[in-house]
């Protein structure tokens, strides 16, 4: 079992799910699983890892049990070239990057502790110019990133990730006449409004005329809300567009048990202000607030709901909760039994009373009374 101790985190984790970010209390069944997790985390944030060193238990040489290991960014340290610039063909790739993870075995608890941090990456002026030109030409962000990587001999030689490219495009997307995508969206909204006056749309820009959010609700969505407005779901788990903008949707369930769309939105970022703008315009469109709303465990969404929908009952999505059980509870010795019992109680309880009784027994059986994650649900 391995548990994580985090001393410093990246300032920008937008776009990553909670379970993908190293935090205190994470657990893994083996060292390879911890390595795999950190490697995947590094890929999504634009750096590459390497095993710097591994120490083994000297008292059990035959078993070769690792007691600690450090994973570093491949761009750690700094090297000064001893070759004159005119004759040097290879780039100096070490940039004093401090991203690293230390895994140490706790003999008493048979666990590993980890320390990790990474410095923030910034785009170069050249990269910004290339990104801007390519975006205006309609070239996708991933193609732009590959082109920049090819210029320097591979992505490992870049100081930023593809996600940074997408974020730069999103934060600099302006509502101007030369922005074909924005004009296309506006023309579509206007055309739909002319076809059916019940089509609703709202676009928000900031003081600098930068796009912040867009909400649209067609006539069918508005009609569906009249019947299925008791409880709605809102999430942003869908694929982002070419500008890296999160796509969100309002969804309910009809009398056939099928999902019914109630509205759509594009946001520049998944921050409280963005969600407040979308929720405010959506309520303005539908007129009546829902009795309940279901979201994932996003703090920004929660903050926006408390402000815009203070009287609406707010609950977390059971799918998101159950997906995190291994991440949150995987370190317990009886995790297999624990997971099976938890699934049975959550999905097979015939009533709320039955659930409460069995849940209390579940907490007692596995001594989970002090588990902060379960207590917060």
Residues 16 and 138 in one domain: no
Higher-pLDDT residue of 194, 67: 194
- Burial (CB < 10 A; 0-12, 13-18, 19+), residue 137, is exposed
pLDDT the model gives residue 97? 60
Contact 170, 53 (CB under 8 A): no
- Band of residue 280 on the pLDDT scale cut at 50, 70, 90: very high
CA gap 133, 176 in Å, rounded: 15
Residues 279 and 217 in one domain: yes
pLDDT the model gives residue 176? 43
Residues 312 and 207 in one domain: yes
- pLDDT(286) > 60: yes
- pLDDT(10) > 60: no
Q: Are strands 116-117 and 2-3 parallel, antiparallel or unpaired?
A: unpaired
Q: How many helices (H) and strands (E) does the chain have?
A: 13, 14
Residues 160 and 184 in one domain: no
Residue ranges of alpha helices (H) inside the chain are 31-45, 125-136, 141-151, 162-171, 180-195, 219-227, 272-286, 299-308, 318-323, 325-329, 335-348, 352-365, 372-376
pLDDT the model gives residue 376? 78
pLDDT digits (tens, 9 = 90+) for 42-88: 777 767 777 777 777 777 666 677 777 777 777 665 444 444 444 44
Residues 217 and 309 in one domain: yes
Could you tell me the CATH number of the domain that includes residue 239? 3.30.420
Q: Which of 95-99, 215-219, 228-232 has the lowest mean pLDDT?
A: 95-99
Residues 112 and 129 in one domain: no
Residues 81 and 147 in one domain: no
Structure token digits, residue 169: 């495009």
Residues 191 and 313 in one domain: yes
Q: What is the mean pLDDT of the chain?
A: 76
pLDDT digits (tens, 9 = 90+) for 144-190: 989 988 888 887 777 777 877 877 777 664 444 445 677 778 888 88
Range of the domain at 146: 125-171
Whether 310 is in a domain gets the answer: yes
- Nearest to 158, CA basis, from 199, 201, 97: 97
Whether 324 is in a domain gets the answer: no
One DSSP character per residue, 70-99 reads EEEETT-S-----S-TTT--S---------
Whether 149 is in a domain gets the answer: yes
Whether 86 is in a domain gets the answer: yes
Contact 152, 91 (CB under 8 A): yes
Contact 123, 114 (CB under 8 A): no
pLDDT digits (tens, 9 = 90+) for 234-248: 987 665 555 667 888
Residues 131 and 110 in one domain: no
Contact 230, 292 (CB under 8 A): yes
Q: Which residues of 224-240 are buried (b: 16+ CB within 10 A; e: fewer)?
A: bbeebbeebbbbbeeeb
Whether 58 is in a domain gets the answer: yes
CA gap 276, 304 in Å, rounded: 5
Whether 326 is in a domain gets the answer: no
Contact 292, 300 (CB under 8 A): no
Phi–psi pair at 112, nearest 5 degrees = -115, 140
Q: Considering the chain, what percentage of its residues have pLDDT values greater than 90?
A: 14
What is the C-alpha R_g of the chain? 25
Q: 19 by DSSP, 3-state: which?
A: helix
Whether 306 is in a domain gets the answer: yes
Q: Considering the chain, what percentage of its residues have pLDDT values greater than 70?
A: 73
Residues 62 and 149 in one domain: no
- Band of residue 213 on the pLDDT scale cut at 50, 70, 90: confident
- Nearest to 145, CA basis, from 244, 16, 270: 244
- Burial (CB < 10 A; 0-12, 13-18, 19+), residue 282, is buried
Whether 325 is in a domain gets the answer: no
Phi–psi pair at 66, nearest 5 degrees = -70, 135
Residues 187 and 284 in one domain: yes
Residues 184 and 156 in one domain: no
Q: How many domains does the chain have?
A: 4
DSSP 11: S
Q: Which of 7-11, 90-94, 163-167, 315-319 has the lowest mean pLDDT?
A: 7-11
Contact 267, 278 (CB under 8 A): yes
């Amino acid at each position: 079992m391995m548990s994580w101790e985090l001393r410093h985190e990246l300032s920008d984790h937008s776009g990553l799910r909670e379970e993908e970010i190293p935090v205190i209390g994470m657990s893994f069944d083996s060292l390879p699983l911890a390595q795999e997790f950190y490697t995947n985390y590094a890929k999504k944030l634009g750096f590459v890892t390497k095993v710097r060193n591994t120490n083994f238990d000297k008292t059990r040489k035959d078993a070769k049990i690792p007691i600690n290991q450090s994973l570093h960014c491949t761009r750690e340290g700094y090297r000064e070239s001893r070759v004159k610039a005119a004759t040097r063909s290879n780039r100096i790739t070490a940039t004093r990057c401090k991203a690293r993870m230390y895994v140490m075995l706790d003999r008493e608890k048979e666990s590993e502790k980890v320390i990790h941090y990474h410095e923030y990456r910034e785009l170069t002026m050249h990269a910004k110019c290339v990104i801007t030109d390519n975006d205006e030409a309609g070239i996708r962000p991933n193609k732009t990133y590959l082109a920049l990587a090819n210029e320097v001999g591979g992505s490992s030689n870049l100081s930023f990730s593809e996600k940074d490219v997408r974020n730069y495009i999103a934060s600099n997307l302006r509502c101007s006449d030369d922005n074909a995508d924005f004009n296309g969206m506006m023309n579509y909204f206007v055309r739909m409004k002319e076809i059916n006056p019940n089509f609703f749309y709202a676009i928000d820009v900031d003081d600098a005329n930068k796009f912040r959010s867009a909400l649209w609700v067609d006539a069918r969505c508005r009609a569906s809300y009249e019947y299925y407005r008791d409880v709605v779901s809102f999430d942003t788990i869908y694929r982002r567009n070419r500008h890296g903008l999160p796509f969100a949707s309002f969804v309910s369930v009809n009398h056939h048990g099928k999902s019914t769309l109630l509205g759509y939105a594009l946001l520049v970022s998944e921050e409280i202000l963005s969600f407040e703008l979308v929720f405010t315009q959506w309520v303005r469109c539908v007129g009546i607030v829902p009795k309940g709303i279901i979201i994932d465990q996003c703090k920004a969404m929660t903050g926006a709901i408390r402000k815009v929908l203070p009287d609406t009952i707010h609950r977390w999505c059971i799918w998101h909760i159950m997906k995190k059980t291994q991440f949150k509870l995987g370190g317990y010795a009886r995790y297999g039994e624990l997971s099976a019992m938890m699934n049975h109680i959550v999905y097979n309880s015939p009533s709320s009373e039955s659930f409460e009784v069995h849940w209390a027994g579940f907490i007692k059986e596995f001594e989970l009374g002090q588990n902060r994650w379960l207590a917060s649900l």
